[in-house]
Amino acid sequence: MTAPILTINGLTKAYPGVVANDDVSFSVGRGEVHALLGENGAGKSTLVKMIYGLVKPDSGSMTFADAPFAPSSPQEARSTGIAMVFQHFSLFEALNVAENVALGMENPPPMRELATRIREVSDTYGLPLDPNRMVGDLSAGERQRVEIIRCLLQDPKLLIMDEPTSVLTPQEVDILFQTLRKLQSEGTSILYISHKLEEIRSLCEGATILRLGKVVGSCDPREKSARELAEMMVGTELKTPTSAAHEPGPVALEVSGLTVRPASPFGTVLKDVSFSVREGEILGIGGVAGNGQDELLGALSGEMLSEDDAVKLEGKPIGRLGPNLRRGIGLQAAPEERLGHAAAPDMSLIENAVLSARVRQNLDRNGFIDWRKARDFAEQVIEAFDVRTPGPGNAARALSGGNLQKFVIGREILQSPKVFVVNQPTWGVDASAAASIRQAILDLAVAGSAVVVISQDLDELMEISDLFAALNEGRLSDPRPARGLTIDEIGLMMGGAHGMEVAHV
Q: Which residues pair with 258 in a beta bridge?
A: 273
Closest contact distance (angstroms) between CB of 303 and other proteins is: 20
Q: How far is CA 337 from CA 258, 287, 294, 401, 423, in A?
A: 23, 17, 10, 10, 9
Q: How far is CA 141 from CA 149, 262, 303, 405, 498, in A?
A: 12, 20, 27, 27, 8
Closest contact distance (angstroms) between CB of 92 and other proteins is: 4
If the CB atoms of residues 94 and 384 are measured against other proteins, the closer one turns out to be: 94
Q: 129, 122 in Cβ contact below 8 A?
A: yes
Cα–Cα distance, 153 to 105 (Å, whole number)? 8
Q: 207, 219 in Cβ contact below 8 A?
A: yes
222 three-state secondary structure:
helix
If the CB atoms of residues 101 and 434 are measured against other proteins, the closer one turns out to be: 101
If the CB atoms of residues 53 and 302 are measured against other proteins, the closer one turns out to be: 53
Closest contact distance (angstroms) between CB of 15 and other proteins is: 8
Residues 6+ apart with CB under 8 A from 186: none
**Region for residue 495 given its phi and psi (left: phi exceeds 0; alpha: psi -120 to 50; beta: otherwise):** left
Closest contact distance (angstroms) between CB of 143 and other proteins is: 11
Contacting positions for other proteins (CB under 8 A): 15, 46, 49, 53-55, 73-75, 77-78, 86, 88-95, 99, 102-104, 108, 111, 134, 136, 265
Closest contact distance (angstroms) between CB of 86 and other proteins is: 6
If the CB atoms of residues 147 and 172 are measured against other proteins, the closer one turns out to be: 147
**Dihedral, CA atoms, 174, 178, 180, 182, nearest 10 degrees?**
180
Q: How far is residue 195 CA from its own chain's centroid?
A: 11
Residues 6+ apart with CB under 8 A from 337: none
If the CB atoms of residues 219 and 395 are measured against other proteins, the closer one turns out to be: 395
**Backbone torsions φ then ψ of 49, nearest 5 degrees:** -65, -30
Residues 6+ apart with CB under 8 A from 35: 192, 193, 194, 200, 203, 204, 206, 207, 208, 221
Closest contact distance (angstroms) between CB of 12 and other proteins is: 14
Closest contact distance (angstroms) between CB of 5 and other proteins is: 21
If the CB atoms of residues 137 and 501 are measured against other proteins, the closer one turns out to be: 137
Closest contact distance (angstroms) between CB of 203 and other proteins is: 24
Closest contact distance (angstroms) between CB of 89 and other proteins is: 7
If the CB atoms of residues 103 and 325 are measured against other proteins, the closer one turns out to be: 103
If the CB atoms of residues 265 and 315 are measured against other proteins, the closer one turns out to be: 265
Cα–Cα distance, 255 to 26 (Å, whole number)? 52
If the CB atoms of residues 10 and 136 are measured against other proteins, the closer one turns out to be: 136
Residues 6+ apart with CB under 8 A from 42: 210, 211, 212, 213, 233
Residues 6+ apart with CB under 8 A from 261: 269
Query: Among 347, 463, 357, which residue's Cα sits nearest to residue 394?
Result: 347
If the CB atoms of residues 102 and 404 are measured against other proteins, the closer one turns out to be: 102
Cα–Cα distance, 363 to 373 (Å, whole number)? 6
Closest contact distance (angstroms) between CB of 87 and other proteins is: 10
Q: How far is CA 476 from CA 84, 291, 334, 467, 472, in A?
A: 33, 10, 20, 13, 6
If the CB atoms of residues 59 and 324 are measured against other proteins, the closer one turns out to be: 59
If the CB atoms of residues 40 and 90 are measured against other proteins, the closer one turns out to be: 90
Closest contact distance (angstroms) between CB of 262 and other proteins is: 11
Query: Among 441, 438, 434, 435, which residue's Cα sits nearest to residue 417?
Result: 441
Closest contact distance (angstroms) between CB of 58 and other proteins is: 12
